Structure 1
Amino acid sequence: MAASDVAVGIIFLLQTVVGTLGNSSLLLHYLVLYFTGCRVRHTDLILQHLIVANLLALLCRGVPQTVAAFGVKGFLNDFGCKLLFYLQRVGRGVSIGSTCLLSVFQAIKISPENSSCSELKVKAPKYIGFCIYLSWILYLLVSIMIISQMTGKRSNNNITSMKDFGYCSAVHPDKILQSLYVALLTFPDALCVGLMLWASSSMVLILYRHKQRMQHIHKISSLRSSPESRATKTILILVSNFVFFYTLSCIFQVCVIVIYNPHWLLVKMAAIVSGGFPALSPFLLMRRDSSAYRLGLSWIRNRKNPDFRRNV
């Protein structure tokens, strides 16, 4: 086994283990809140689906990549390859949709009462569940196209007719089908990224205007130190990291698709970058405050008051 394969395997292993632990701890946090009867925020529902999507994308890509990097060959058949790539694509898509919905909802939530979004502030919470499940359905349907392309890795395949992913292979599709597939995947992704950039710009502008207004009228309390401000800044950091990793991932993915027989290092780098956001995002969400403290505080207050609504 080459040293380069071992190094890549260690990177995949660390990324998968750290990301899985981070997402699992957050998911456990929300499960404890649910079973203790706490009424959670509207954004927490979005975050729960984001965590599940991150776990799906991490495990379906990271585990087989790690196993293949450490020299295990032929451990997946055709069905296994189709299923793993399908679930990984669904997880990646729902992660994009959830991050987009989170940023748009937060931008509406902190918008001024006299803005054009004032009516949406009342209606938006009612449609969160619908938008999340619509995202799942959309990417479950769009990702079906990848099933026909993926197959198990076989040593007797003509290398010019197959694209090697290390543990699975992909049949070079017809140019028309490939264009259709790229268009179907690119359109919802581009729409989500555009909405995220709009929402992020709106949040930055709202925070800046509020800060200027508070300084002008010499008030001590401001949105900057409020829970909503902290949540907004956390979401801005989350979105900026998503856009960074998504842009890099798109560059690598385009190179893998365009190049007929891409180098194995390019394929591995595309996989590593693709797993960057799912592995990092739970720790960005945790930085706002201590999860352990929130769990304990929520549980104690809920015992005292069943109708407690979290404000942190």
Structure 2
Amino acid sequence: MATRDLSIGMMFLLQTIIGILGNFSLVYHFLFLYFTGCKFRSTDLILKHLTVANLLVILSKGVPETMAAFGLKLFLKDIGCKLVFYVHRVGRDVSIGTTCLLSVFQVIMISPSNSRWAELKVKAPNYTGASNILCWILNMMLNILVPFHMTDKRNNTNIRKKIDHGYCYAVFSGNIITQSLYILLVLFSHGFCLVLMVWASGSMIFLLHRHQQRVQYIHRNNLTPRSSLEIRATQSILVLVCTFVSLWTLSSIFLICLAFFNKPSLWLKNVSTLIAACFPTVSPYILMSHDPRVSRFCFA
């Protein structure tokens, strides 16, 4: 095995291990809170769905990419390629959707009681479960065409247009109009979520700034515990959303470069894949670092 392939394989392996450990630590954190009788936050249900989606992304992308980088190219059959890429697309899109839902939900919850969100602020916690389930269903339906475009490398197809992912082929055949409409639909859904996240981030910054101005004459120790917890929760979600938007923008730039070049280099492909998997890897550490319940014992 070449030194370059070994280095790439080690990077994928390290990222996959860090991501799996981080997300399983977050799962353990929620289980610990449940069995010790802690009171859950209104955003915890959304975070659980986000953690599951991130795990699906890491397992369906990080593990195959690591195996392919270490020289294992034919470990998936046709059904395996279809399943792995379908799970990855669904997990990735659910991760985007739940991050968007999380940011919008937090803006509603921290809005003043006399704002236009006052009525929705009371009802919003009752709809988080249904909203998460709807997010899963919509993304499973949206990506239903993905398995039809994936095949294993043993299939010596004569289709001219195909993309080699190292361990599977993505083939493109059929109606160009249908494929274009599908791509536009995916881009619209991603763009819509991104716009909502940017709006929610700006709104959270504005609300936090106004809150800071309102209590600037009060000593920090005189803040109520509830107010302090709400501020920390908002800050963690704000950091999470800003991280997502930054990584999504960087990943999109690399994807455009991949589409622009006829024969993109292996380095460009690998860097693009590593960046695309960064958010599922780092997001649990961002959430746990801003959650005071992680660093102290909680009793029923």
Q: TM-score, normalization: structure 1?
A: 0.89
How far is 1:41 from its partner?
Answer: 1.4
Contact residue 83 and residue 147 of structure 1 kept, 8 A: yes
Alignment of 1:236-255 (within 5 A): 236-255=238-257
Q: 2:218 is matched with which residue?
A: 219
CA distance in 1, matches of 2:267, 2:154: 20
Aligned to 2:283: 281
Which residue of structure 1 aligns with residue 162 of structure 2?
162
Unaligned runs of 5+ in 1: 303-312
Q: Structure 1 counterpart of 2:28, which letter?
A: L
Measured in 2, the distance between the counterparts of 1:262 and 1:159 equals 20
Instruction: Name structure 2 gaps, 5 residues minimum.
Output: none
Letter paired with 2:81 = C
Number of equivalenced pairs = 296
| C-alpha distance in 2 between matches for 1:181 and 1:2 | 39
Amino acid at match of 1:243: V
> 1:247 Cα shift?
1.1
CA distance in structure 2 between the partners assigned to 1:291 and 1:276 by the alignment? 25
Match of 1:192 in 2: 193
1:308 — aligned with what?
none
Partners of 1:283 and 1:8 in 2: how far apart? 23
Distance across 2 between alignment mates of 1:24 and 1:92:
17
Runs of 4+ residues over 4 Å off in structure 1: 155-160, 222-225, 257-261, 289-292
1:64–1:167 CA contact under 8 A, matched in 2? yes
The more displaced of 80-89 and 117-126 is 117-126
| Match of residue 232 from structure 1 | 234
Counterpart amino acid of 2:163? Answer: K
Cα 1:83–1:258 change in 2 (3 A) is: farther
Q: Map 1:1-312 to 2 at 5 A.
A: 1-154=1-154, 156-157=156-157, 160-173=160-173, 174-215=175-216, 218-220=217-219, 221-222=222-223, 226-289=228-291, 292-294=294-296, 296-297=297-298, 301-302=299-300
205-214 vs 221-230, which deviates more? 221-230
1:42-85 C-alpha deviation (Å, 9 max, x unpaired): 20000000000000001100000000000112111111011000
CA distance in 2, matches of 1:20, 1:242: 18
- Higher alpha-carbon deviation: 97-106 or 32-41: 32-41
- Give the share of equivalent positions with the same residue, in percent: 52
1:191-242 deviation per Cα after TM superposition (whole angstroms, max 9, x unaligned): 1111111111011001111212222xx2224589711001111111100000
Q: Secondary structure at the match of 2:43?
A: helix
Q: Deviations over 1:161-201 (max 9, x none)?
A: 32101111111244323312211211111111111111110
State the shift of 1:38 in Å: 3.7
What is the CA RMSD across the aligned residues, in angstroms? 2.0
Distance 1:147 1:176 in 2: 18
1:266-291 deviation line (CA, Å, top 9, x unaligned)? 22222111100000000001112465
Q: Give 3-state SS (helix, strand or coil) of 1:76's partner.
A: coil
- Structure 1 residue 264: deviation in Å? 2.8
Please list the CA deviations of residues 99-129 of structure 1 after superposition, one character each: whole Å capped at 9, or x if unmatched: 1111111111111111111111111111111
- Tell me how far apart the structure 2 counterparts of residues 286 and 55 of structure 1 sit (CA, whole Å): 16
Q: Residue 170 of structure 1 aligns to a residue in which SS?
A: strand
